[in-house]
Amino acid sequence: MAVLGATGAVGRELLAVLERRGFPVTELFALASARSAGKRLPFGGAEVVVQNADDFDFGTCNILFCCADSDVARRFVPRAIEAGCCVVDNSSAYRMESDVPLVVPEINGDEVRPPLVANPNCTTAITLVALAPLHRRWRMQRLVAATYQAASGAGAAAISELLSHTNATLKGSRPKPSVFPRSLAFNLFPHIGDFVGSYTKEELKLEQETRKILNEAQIKVSAFCVRVPVVRAHSV
């Protein structure tokens, strides 16, 4: 099994889940960019050495969890499928493609099929775990959601920036952001991703992914997504 993006926020969480659940991993390959090659990550009471994904032979594993951004996913997912891997992709690269199932296991796990499964944006996943049973019973027609999203949703560098900016702000300095558009310490932004018309990309993901996962093209969704100075755990 390989985890591409093993050094990131999602990749590290995935390693922890595999370990906690005792998932039967014969051999684990931790992949990232050349920047992280040679780093060591704890796994299963030992350590795995991170490899540069560019040099990896995907024919040596059966399952790839892709935990990198969509450009990186578009580069490596076809290569892994070509080599015979089943791929679970966390990025937005393939989510809306008609021949790729978009799956939240608790809702539509029966749609999983090789060679590629996408999983949704974090906010869509947690919102629908709560709403899908209600939808099945009463047929939801319209969803109006406000989300309060933690730094973790923007990746490992965003968590570090929030922590360091919080410390610096408490000491009286005004640190310059490099991940977020403004410092997130003691702040919030009603704006995640670029605007497309009057909604942001993050807000549109909740609309489009909800329709696909619930298989209901008519549901009306209006979302308002806010980034808040919380390390992890989103609220909806």
Ligand X SMILES: NC(=O)c1ccc[n+]([C@@H]2O[C@H](COP(=O)([O-])OP(=O)(O)OC[C@H]3O[C@@H](n4cnc5c(N)ncnc54)[C@H](OP(=O)(O)O)[C@@H]3O)[C@@H](O)[C@H]2O)c1
**What residues are labeled active site?**
122, 234
Angle of helix 201-214 versus helix 122-138 axis, rounded to 10: 40
Helix axes 156-170, 9-20, angle to 10 degrees: 110
Instruction: In angstroms, give the least distance from the CB of 206 to ligand X.
Output: 13
Residue type at position 73? A
Q: Minimal distance in Å, beta carbon 151 to ligand X?
A: 9
> Which residues touch 79 (CB under 8 Å, ≥6 apart)?
58
Site residues for ligand X per CB under 6 A: 4-11, 32-33, 35-36, 53, 67-70, 72, 90-91, 121-122, 152-153, 155-157
Task: Tell me whether residue 141 or residue 164 sits nearer to ligand X (CB atom).
Answer: 164
Between 70 and 108, CB nearer to ligand X: 70
- Nearest distance, CB of residue 119 and ligand X, angstroms: 7
Tokens (6 digits) for 147: 């989300």
Between 124 and 183, CB nearer to ligand X: 124
Instruction: Point out the residue whose Cβ comes nearest to ligand X.
Output: 8
Cis peptide bond upstream of 115, omega within 30: yes
Q: Under DSSP, is residue 86 helix (H, G, I), strand (E, B) or coil?
A: strand
